[in-house]
Chains A and B, each alone.
Chain A
Amino acid sequence: MRNYLASMIIATTLVLGACGSTQTRVTTNSFTPKPNAVTMIYTPDVELSILMATGMTETRADWSKAGEDNITNSLKTALADRSSAIVVRDRNDVQSPRELQLTKLTDAVMQTSLRYDYRGQSLPTHKKKYSRSIGPGASLLAGDSGAQYSLMVTARGRYQSGGKIAMNIAMAALGNAPQVGGQTVYAALIDLESGDIVWSNLATAAPGQDMRKPAQADRLVNSLLKDFPL
Chain B
Amino acid sequence: MIKRILSTITLAALLATTATAQSRPEDDSTDEAGLWYKMDKYEQALKNSGAVIDDPELNAYVRRVTCDITGQEACDKLRIYIVEEPIFNASMAPNGMMTVYSGLLLRSESEAQMACVLGHEYGHFAEKHSLEGWRRAKSTSNWMVGLQFVAAFAGLPPETGQAINQIGSLLFYRYNRGQETEADVIGFNLTAGADYKADECANVWKNLIAENENSSFGSKRRRGKWFNPYSTHPLPKDRIAELDALAASYDSGDKTGRETHIAAVRPHLQNWMKAELLARDFNSNIYLFQQLKTRGFPPGMADYFIGEAYRLRKAEGDRARAVDMWKKASVQAGAPPVVHRALAEHYRKAGFKDAALSSYQTYLAQAPQAEDSALISAYIDRLNTQLGN
Which residues of A are in contact with B by a Cβ distance under 8 Å?
45, 47, 49, 52-56, 58-62, 64-65, 92, 97, 100-101, 104, 167, 170, 174
| Chain B residue nearest to A54 in the complex (CB) | B141
Specify which chain A residues have a CB less than 8 angstroms from the CB of B149 in the assembled complex. Answer: 170, 174
Are B36's CB and A61's CB within 8 A?
A: yes
Contact of A54 among B37, B45, B142 (CB under 8 A): B142
The interface centre, meaning the residue of A45, A54, A64, A174 with most chain B CB atoms within 10 A of its CB, is A54
Question: Which of the segments B27-35, B75-83, B195-203, B228-236 contacts the partner chain?
Answer: B27-35
Contact of B29 among A54, A60, A100, A167 (CB under 8 A): A60
CA distance A62 to B34 in the complex (A): 8
CA distance A59 to B34 in the complex (A): 5
Contacts A54-B145, A170-B149 given; indicate if A62 touches B28 (C-beta within 8 A). yes
CA distance A56 to B168 in the complex (A): 15
Specify which chain B residues have a CB less than 8 angstroms from the CB of A45 in the assembled complex. Answer: 41
The interface centre, meaning the residue of A49, A59, A100 with most chain B CB atoms within 10 A of its CB, is A59
Q: Give the distance to chain A from B199, nearest Cβ to Cβ, in Å.
A: 42
| Chain A residue nearest to B47 in the complex (CB) | A100
Specify which chain A residues have a CB less than 8 angstroms from the CB of B47 in the assembled complex. Answer: 100
Contacts A61-B34, A61-B36 given; indicate if A53 touches B145 (C-beta within 8 A). yes
| Chain A residue nearest to B30 in the complex (CB) | A61
| Chain B residue nearest to A53 in the complex (CB) | B145
Are A61's CB and B152's CB within 8 A?
A: no
Q: Give the distance to chain B from A131, nearest Cβ to Cβ, in Å.
A: 22
| Chain A residue nearest to B27 in the complex (CB) | A62
Are B37's CB and A58's CB within 8 A?
A: no
Are A61's CB and B44's CB within 8 A?
A: no
CB of B38 closer than 8 Å to a CB of A? yes
CA distance A100 to B52 in the complex (A): 14
Q: C-beta contact mask, B118-147 vs A, less than 8 Å → 1, else 0?
A: 000000000000000010011001101100
Q: Give the distance to chain A from B135, nearest Cβ to Cβ, in Å.
A: 10
| Chain B residue nearest to A104 in the complex (CB) | B45
Are A60's CB and B142's CB within 8 A?
A: no
Specify which chain A residues have a CB less than 8 angstroms from the CB of B44 in the assembled complex. Answer: 92
Q: C-beta contact mask, B146-171 vs A, less than 8 Å → 1, else 0?
A: 00010011000000000000000000
Q: List 7 A-B contacts (CB under 8 A).
A: A58-B34, A59-B38, A60-B29, A61-B30, A97-B48, A100-B48, A174-B149
CA distance A55 to B145 in the complex (A): 10
Q: Give the distance to chain A from B23, nearest Cβ to Cβ, in Å.
A: 15
Specify which chain B residues have a CB less than 8 angstroms from the CB of A92 in the assembled complex. Answer: 44
Q: C-beta contact mask, B219-253 vs A, less than 8 Å → 1, else 0?
A: 00000000000000000000000000000000000
Q: Give the distance to chain B from A169, nearest Cβ to Cβ, in Å.
A: 12
Specify which chain B residues have a CB less than 8 angstroms from the CB of A52 in the assembled complex. Answer: 138
Are B37's CB and A64's CB within 8 A?
A: yes
